[in-house]
Amino acid sequence: MNTPSTRPHVLLYTDGGAEPNPGRGGYGSILTYNGKKKEFSAGFKMTTNNRMELLAVISGLQKLKVPSKVTVYSDSRYVVDGIEKGWAKSWRAKNWMRNNKEKAVNSDLWARLLDLLDLHEVNFHWVKGHAGHPENERCDVLASIAMRGRDLKDDPGYIA
């Protein structure tokens, strides 16, 4: 197994969206390693923007074949702050409750993301959306194409 110092360094760019929100949704992800890029996307019949932002990161991390050092670039404050500010870990520790009365939203995806973060050494960076960042713009295009596709998937975790 790779130790943190010998892990490959991968860049993961992500974006997701739903139109309307909630509505048809999609995500796009780009993995970059050693000068090579791979793009991924998927579209869903009914979902939310936040679910697609989370799924974009999850899908990218799931593609990695070995434990890696990953730098994630996302325009979603929800995703970046959820990890960097410790919200997701706190919700999990409280049995997926935000407080005594409110359930944490998207706990199925947050649980998957936290499990993946245990496998990889991941740092999150927020980028301003629609501000000319080439990879973020490309992920937005991938997500938009995916949500307008014909073979849209069901999002089993989406609750109306």
Q: Which are the catalytic amino acids?
A: 15-16, 53, 75, 130, 140
Show the DSSP H helices in the chain as ranges: 49-62, 77-84, 87-93, 107-119, 134-147
- Kindly list the distances between the CA atom of residue 143 and the CA atoms of 3, 90, 101, 104, in Å, as whole numbers in the listed order: 34, 29, 34, 25
Residues near 154 by Cβ (< 8 Å), separated by ≥ 6? Answer: 44, 45, 46
- 77: which DSSP letter? H
Residue 68 near residue 120 (C-beta atoms within 8 A): yes
| 153 phi, psi to nearest 5 deg | -90, 165
